[in-house]
Amino acid sequence: MKGVILHGGAGTRLRPLSYSGPKQLIPVANKPVSQYVLEDLVSCGITDVAIILGETFPELVREHYGDGSKFGAKITYIYQGKPLGIAHAVGLCEEFVGDEKFVVYLGDNLLQHGIGPYLKKFQESDADAMVLLKEVEDPRRFGVAQFDEQGKLVKLVEKPREPPSNYALVGVYFLTPVIFDMIKRLKPSWRGEYEITDALQMLIDGGYKVDYAIVDGWWLDTGKKDDILYANALILDERIKRRIKGEVKDSRVEGRVYVEEGARIVSSKVRGPAILGKGCLVENSYIGPYTSIGDGARIINSSVEYSVILGGATIKNVIRLEESLVGKNATIIGEGKKGVMRLHVGDYSVVELG
């Protein structure tokens, strides 16, 4: 069994951060989203993995993952370039996959309990493909499943105006090499992309067995700022344990707070769940729950809560920063004025609050 992680796409909903790096490398709880995906595959015994690269700084992906050995994997890189759709990206993997079953996992998706149970179901079945579904409030934003009276999957529709059900396609696809024959017959959709839903529909219409499973637990598509903040809060809440490796001086650290080596907390208060990265500095400040502070970031004379602050960022003299996503090496300088600030700031930006 092989794995394919899709790491392309323009990431328009996460601009300006996606101007300077792939959206899948934006961290939640100080770990890139796509790293959770890779770790999920490896935990299921899938160690031969291809990462499909887009045109947004693909070298940053290679720099982070290397040959995969530090993650217990063997990584092959395949360049897609322009975002021409999931099916197009999958089609590039034919030589890598060979005659094996494989799983395609979108690099910006997170599953609470991972793919383990569904992978086992697929491996033990004779299905030609299997999709994961999750009931959602607004299925019009996703590919949507339609069932017959017996509950059999009969149709998949991409972003329908009138959804046939509330069951959306999760960004995980269990496939066999027969999918490549379908992809070769595809034509671009109205969006100008080669849709994986169309390829799967060809399988259904051709009499192939396309199975499905309903996802248990939460599923997150981290395509927007609020999605990143929500994912960060969920993962901090469920997975962070209290551990203090750095220095705490004249400060209070309450609850489940993970303080990395080299981090310094001086004359401050930190309430968990929260994580403070390596070498960061929190001085005369308050770090509230559900906040991640990246490596080397500096929080001085400020209050930060329910936010993701990337590595190297500086926040100084900001009375109250909430629900914010601050990019790498960005600088936010306030004048100590009262009021809540909610920001979405790109890498290397400078914001001076008057």
Domains of the chain: 2-235 (3.90.550.10), 242-352 (2.160.10.10)
The pLDDT of residue 18 = 59
Separation CA 209–CA 229 (nearest Å):
38
pLDDT at 23 over 80: yes
Name the residue with higher pLDDT: 224 or 332: 332
- Checking DSSP bridges between strand 74-81 and strand 291-293, what pairing results, if any? unpaired
The confidence band for 324, taking pLDDT boundaries of 50, 70 and 90, is very high
pLDDT tens digits, 58-104? 899 999 999 999 999 999 999 998 888 899 999 999 999 999 999 99
Q: Read off the pTM.
A: 0.93
The region of weakest confidence among 35-39, 155-159, 182-186, 188-192 is 188-192
* Highest mean predicted confidence (pLDDT) among 56-60, 252-256, 346-350: 252-256
Yes or no: say if 87 and 41 are a contact pair by the CB < 8 Å rule. no
Task: Quote the CA–CA distance of 8 and 55 in Å, as a whole number.
Answer: 7
The contacts found for 271-280 with CB under 8 angstroms, 24 or more apart, are 272/236, 272/240, 272/242, 273/236, 273/237, 273/240, 274/236, 274/240, 275/29, 275/30, 275/236, 275/240, 276/246, 277/30, 277/311
> What's the Cα-to-Cα distance from 273 to each of 76, 122, 254, 301, rounded to whole Å?
36, 36, 9, 21
Q: How high is the pLDDT of residue 13?
A: 59
pLDDT digits (tens, 9 = 90+) for 130-173: 999 999 988 888 889 999 888 899 999 888 888 899 999 999 99
Task: Give the N- to C-terminal CA distance of the chain in Å, as an integer.
Answer: 56
Q: Which residues on adjacent β-strands are paired with residue 76? A: 50
